[in-house]
Structure 1
Amino acid sequence: MKKEQYDFNLECFNKPSLNAHKYIKQRTEELGFDMASDHASGALMRLLVSSKPNGRILELGTGTGAATAWLAEGLCPNSTLTTIDREDTYLKVAREALEDDKRIDFIVGDAIDYLKNQPEQSFDLIFADAEPGKYHYLEETLKLLKPGGLYIVDDMHPQEDWPEDHYPFAMGALNDLKAVKGVTKAGLSYSSGLIIMTPEYGNS
């Protein structure tokens, strides 16, 4: 066979398994919600969640549940996922799509209020896709990670729908993430641009 005939497309590894994805995609488009996490980021987060058996997972910024469904796919039977958004219109979509999964707790409210009431080292993985935990309140959020826990943010590459005034805001967040001490970091030029951190040994 000629080399052109070999298919090395790796997307076969990134297929969703829940029917919830179809409903979420449809309702997301109907609502005109344009901040949903993308397919490639979701597949990676599914993998990372699955590496945390019996884990407590936290999502800051449910949106319509695109990432929530991927996180749910990675949960083991005894894991839990708490997902928070202040916009009930969007969170309702995620709740409707995933209402049968009793491992998921949907909270409508302010993420900062929730974070303030959590003890340190509470979570095995935090996906921060809201202003609290991503653009501010960063140090407090990182303190909630257990030893070996993972902190994930996406959309760190410029997006087509970013308004002009968002660029300095996003760059400020990127610089804040660069400046974090006591963690091991990886910046991935993959999907929408992800940053992953975990507490260094002895710093959690």
Structure 2
Amino acid sequence: MTDVINQPFPPTYLAIDQATQSHGFTMPSDPLTCSLLRTLAASKPAGRLLELGTGTGLSTAWILDGMDADSTLVSVDYDGQVLAIAHTYLGDDQRLSLVEADGEAWVTGNAGARFDYIFADTWHGKYLLLNEVLAMLNPGGLYIVDDMLPQPNWPEGHAEKAIRFVEDLEKRPDLLLTKQHWATGIIVAVKR
């Protein structure tokens, strides 16, 4: 196996990628990570999926590509400019709800919501409000995070924060983890 993706990209991916580069957005999800997100989304037929940190919609496109017609995806981002790119290319998909909101406000305002799949690609749900977001995950649900290997855009002190986060996840009896030293560093957990 190689790091080359030998499968088709979602139909909207290349256009979103071009718009992402034109906009100057520098934190897109890695295509290897996105491919895994698509496969994991397919494991949740008629599932309720959540993405925290839409960005421009690159990972969103892959998640949607794996979902069946009866699944739904709520994708949240605070930055209306990058979210506009996702709206342009993905906004017509009836399975998708794109939400412009502060992560903390959205999580606390939707505390009763339950999901079968959560991709936490921002601080909220990863480094902030972890307990609250994991409380939204149904038993058997997937919790996925990326960027656990050192990244060039990490601010000073972030490596220590990532180490503490992983240690916190490892201590949780309600999660079964797989830590992958692959792509940007991925953790996939299942809620018991």
TM-score (norm 2): 0.93
Aligned-residue CA RMSD in angstroms?
1.7
Higher mean C-alpha deviation, range 183-192 or range 155-164: 155-164
Q: CA deviation at 1:181?
A: 2.5
Deviation at 1:21, TM superposition (A): 0.7
Structure 1 position 12, deviation (Å):
4.8
Residue 32 of structure 1 deviates from its aligned partner by 1.5
Give the aligned partner of residue 75 of structure 1: 67
Residues 121 and 147, structure 1, Cα contact 8 Å, conserved in 2: no
Query: What's the counterpart of residue 51 of structure 1?
Result: 43
Separation in 2, partners of 1:161, 1:112: 23
Shift of 1:116: 2.1
What's the CA shift for 1:190?
1.1
Assess if the C-alpha contact under 8 Å between 1:121 and 1:143 holds in 2.
Answer: no
Q: Is structure 2 residue 139 aligned with structure 1 residue 150?
A: no
Structure 2: state its 5+ residue gaps.
none
Is the Cα contact below 8 Å between 2:3 and 2:32 reproduced in 1?
Answer: no
Determine the structure 1 residue equivalent to 2:96.
Answer: 104
Offset at residue 27 of structure 1 (A): 1.3
Aligned positions of 1:1-204 closer than 5 A: 9=2, 11-18=4-11, 20-118=12-110, 120=112, 122-200=114-192
Task: Give the AA of the match of 1:164.
Answer: E
> Could you tell me how far apart the structure 2 residues matched to 1:117 and 1:81 are?
17
* C-alpha contact 1:59 1:83 (8 A) present in aligned 2: yes
Larger radius of gyration: 1
Matched-pair contact (CA < 8 Å) for 1:14–1:40:
no
- The equivalent residue for 1:5 is none
TM-score between the two structures when normalised by the length of structure 1: 0.88
* Aligned partners of 1:120 and 1:145 also within 8 Å: no
Question: C-alpha displacement at 1:120, in angstroms?
Answer: 4.9
Structure 1 residues 166 and 104, CA, compared in 2 at 3 Å: closer, same or farther?
A: same
The alignment partner of 1:78 has SS state of coil
Gaps of 5+ in 1: 1-7
